[in-house]
Amino acid sequence: MVPGPGTLVRVPLGRSTRLGVVWDRPAARAEVALRPLGEVFSMLPPLTPAWLRLVEFAAGYYQRGLGELALAALPPELRRLDGLQLARRLARLDRPPARAGGDADARLEELPELGDEQAAALEAVAVLAGMASPPALLLHGVTGSGKTEVYLRAAARALASGRQVLVLVPEINLTPQLEARFAARFPAHRLASQHSALTPAQRLANWLAAHRGQADLVLGTRMAVFASLPRLGLVVVDEEHDASFKQQDGARYSARDLAVYRGRLEGVPVLLGSATPSLETWHNVAEGRYRAAAMTARVGGGAMPRVRLLDMAALPRAPAGTQPPALAPALRAAIEQRIARGEQSLLLLNRRGYAPVLHCGACGWKSGCPHCSAWRVFHKADRTLRCHHCGFAERVPRACPECGNLDLGAVGRGTEKLEEQMAALLPGARIARIDADTTRGAGALAERLAAVHAGDVDVLVGTQIVAKGHDFRRVTLVAAVNPDGALFSSDFRAPERLFALLMQAAGRAGRDAAQAAGSEMWVQTWHPQHALYRALVAHDYAAFAAAQLGERRAAGLPPFTHLALLRAEARDAAVADGFLRDAAEAAAALPEGDAVTIYPPVPPPLARVAGLERLQMLVESRSRSALQRFLAAWVPALHGVRRTRRGLARWAVDVDPLAI
């Protein structure tokens, strides 16, 4: 008997066998010689038609091979196992799972009472659940408004009707706390997480549990959007605006956008939660494609902190030859008051390391990376110069490599230096730092967060890691030390990301109603009149979004146009440039080429990485479907163009790129 679509099989390929998925049964063609299938994994249920359609859509939309995408969507461990090995894994799995705390989920009467806005949001989800093809729902709630409680209640309803729930979060760091809340609320249900920190065996076990319907809750990072869930009833995308939902290599898919597509495909509600929605989502609500529920009040009556803009231009100038202090005197005084009251302060600086560049005042030498068009960052703790793009690291030279000058200076400031300056500025204060450098080891982040929660820290210095999701009860002051850079970035999404980061950081303060009244966010800026900061002071996301969307419309940028990037990399920039020019010529020969505008090749902001020169070419269209039709005709032609260009290291198409 021929196995049906979705069946997992092993197929002979050369001398070995490979994992395969039966997709459909094409009519037999005389000119094609067929080989028999290897093993058929009949011990597993087939992947559902909806799963196959999701993968088909993703492969088509993001211009990747169907087989490549399907295999990438399955757990890697599955590729290695034969039938016997798989059967053994399953026998482990069939033992009843350990339950966290009992056989029954929390009862409704034991739960905290919902606020009016939470209840209305939950009602909106219920309405969607009753629709055959529900639109996505934006859950627009300020930090602390209790979005997670809405997720939990919506999940409870889906679980009660025998359905499975998929929850996507942007970062692995945020999975443990959300996992703990779901596990505590639903002890009678099995939860399977999906993220890259799991071992291959764990990932397979969790995947199988969901695929066989044993796990009812799947929680994970972007890869989890492809989880096999035969009884899917609800999708939640938490922090939907977060850039981490976009894959940055291989198949460059947006897990958020695929989640919305999956919901439509399977007719289940999709909740997009955020305090600062992506402008794409906000625009979709304005155009009536998505619905929205607003939650403006903080649970427990906490208020949003007062935002204070500190005009750096109004401060007295630092004497010639000296660096200005890291903190303006007024901010320093405010932090000292917090310390005296036993409250905590959080200082946000989105740049790790000690100083972004080391500089020789005698000859002008700077610590450039020999492989990239970037500076190597000075890390004082281990005395290294490290490139954050290719990883190239060297010990700090004792003298300038160009002129031998012994007096090398650190220019600018990273979190490591800020931590050191705070220790000098605030003697006796307990300072801690959280960034990618201090949280490398297993459990290091949890350990540092625990110290903050226990009150063992007065001033926490950190990068964006600390701004996201963490519930700091004792923090009453948040300060952005030097956020202006993003205002004038060439990246058109930089202001959107800065606003989201500052709003999220502000949300860390005043989560306790008792302390909320005195909570403040300080922003040190040279541009206090900037519209972004005015909107921040008013906690007015809508005003910010309206201004940004106006600029995007005038400039012909997303969501008003649809973009794809063709990227090329080679040791020799001329090779990459030649490939892109040939590609543009190939486009001009296509009938679909009329519907798009192709811009000349340009280097991206970071033009050289790990010894490869990068170039990119922008393709723009007013219509998403026209762009899709064009790409479907163009990308196959590019494989031919590529063969004529020797020395090209890589090329890739990025549909809906995050940065151009």
Q: Site residues (CB under 5 A) for Zn ion?
A: 360, 362-363, 365, 369, 371-372, 387, 389-390, 392, 400, 402-403, 405
SS3 sequence of 58-118:
HHHHCCCCHHHHHHHCCCHHHHHCCHHHHHHHHHHHCCCCCCCCCCCCCCHHHCCCCCHHH
- Smaller CB separation from Zn ion, 69 or 369: 369
Which CB atom, from 178 or from 357, has the smaller least distance to Zn ion?
357
CA 37 to chain centre: 39
| Surface-to-core class of residue 347, CB atoms within 10 Å of its CB (0-12 exposed, 13-18 middle, 19+ buried) | buried
Q: How far is the CB of 612 from Zn ion (least distance, A)?
A: 11
Cβ proximity to Zn ion: between 57 and 392 the closer is 392
Looking at beta carbons only, is 300 or 611 nearer to Zn ion?
611
Would you say 243 and 494 are in contact if contact means Cβ atoms under 8 Å apart? no
Q: Which is nearer to Zn ion, 292 or 387 (CB)?
A: 387
Please report how close the Cβ of residue 361 comes to Zn ion at its closest, in angstroms. 8
Q: Confirm if 519 and 303 have CB atoms less than 8 A apart.
A: yes
Nearer to Zn ion, 377 or 486 (CB): 377
* Contacts (Cβ under 8 Å, ≥6 apart) of 373: 606, 607, 608, 609
Of 17 and 373, the one with the shorter C-beta distance to Zn ion is: 373
Structure tokens at 240: 């939907």
On the 0-12 / 13-18 / 19+ scale of CB atoms within 10 A, 2 is exposed
Q: Bridge partners of 568?
A: 615, 651
Helices and strands counted in the chain (H then E)? 19, 25
Nearer to Zn ion by C-beta: 557 or 570? 570
Q: Which helix (H) or strand (E) holds 577?
A: helix 573-588
Tokens of 47: 């992947």
Question: Shortest approach of Zn ion to residue 371 CB, angstroms?
Answer: 4
β-strand partners of 258: none
Q: Up-side HSE of residue 207: CA atoms within 13 Å toward CB?
A: 25
What's the closest the beta carbon of residue 408 comes to Zn ion, in angstroms? Answer: 8
Instruction: Name 9's bridge partners.
Output: 20, 40
Q: Which is nearer to Zn ion, 140 or 376 (CB)?
A: 376
Which two structure tokens, joined as six digits, stand for 195? 């993220």
Task: Give the C-alpha separation, 469 to 147, whole Å.
Answer: 12
Report, in Å, the least distance between residue 426 CB and Zn ion. 35
Contact predicate 191/219, CB 8 Å = yes
**Whole-angstrom distance, CA of residue 561 vs CA of residue 553:** 8
Shortest distance, position 356 Cβ to Zn ion, whole Å: 14
Rounded least distance, CB 324 to Zn ion, Å: 25
**Which residue's CB is nearer to Zn ion, number 392 or number 492?**
392
| Least gap, CB of 615 to Zn ion (angstroms) | 18
Element (H, E) at 308: strand 306-311
- Measured between alpha carbons, how far is 435 from 346 in angstroms, rounded to an integer? 13
Provide, rounded to whole angstroms, the least separation between the CB of residue 397 and Zn ion: 10
Minimum CB separation of residue 337 from Zn ion in Å reads: 43
Q: Which two tokens stand for residue 80?
A: 């290695």
Of 176 and 370, nearer to Zn ion (C-beta) is: 370
Q: Enumerate residues 6+ apart whose C-beta is below 8 A from 59.
A: 65, 66, 68, 69, 70, 251
Cβ closest to Zn ion, residue 335 vs residue 387: 387
For Zn ion, give the closer residue by CB, 371 or 629.
371
CB 287 within 8 A of CB 276: no
Q: How far apart are CA 572 and CA 368, in angstroms?
A: 20
d(CA 71, CA 79): 8
Q: Is 101 or 364 the residue whose CB approaches Zn ion more closely?
A: 364
Measured from the CB atom, is 198 or 612 closer to Zn ion?
Answer: 612
Contact 489, 606 (CB under 8 A): no
Smallest separation (angstroms) from Zn ion to the CB of 402: 4
If the CB atoms of residues 403 and 446 are measured against Zn ion, the closer one turns out to be 403
Q: C-beta of 358: minimal distance to Zn ion in Å?
A: 11
At closest approach, how far in Å is the CB of 614 from Zn ion? 13
Strands 648-655 and 562-570: antiparallel
Least Å from the CB of residue 463 to Zn ion: 20
DSSP 3-state of 261: helix
Distance of closest approach, residue 604 Cβ to Zn ion, in angstroms: 15
Nearer to Zn ion, 57 or 365 (CB): 365
Beta bridge partners of 20: 9
- What are 456's two structure tokens? 């063992």
Residue 61 · residue 79 · CB < 8 Å:
no
Q: From the CB of 410, what's the least distance to Zn ion, in Å?
A: 14
d(CA 145, CA 471): 12
Tokens 């068009």 locate to: 373
Taking the complex as a whole, how short is the minimal distance between the CB of residue 243 and Zn ion, in angstroms? 21
Pairing of the two strands 562-570 and 344-348: unpaired
Cross-strand partners of 173: none
- Three-state DSSP class for residue 192: strand
**Of 427, 140, 443, whose CA–CA distance to 277 is shortest?**
140
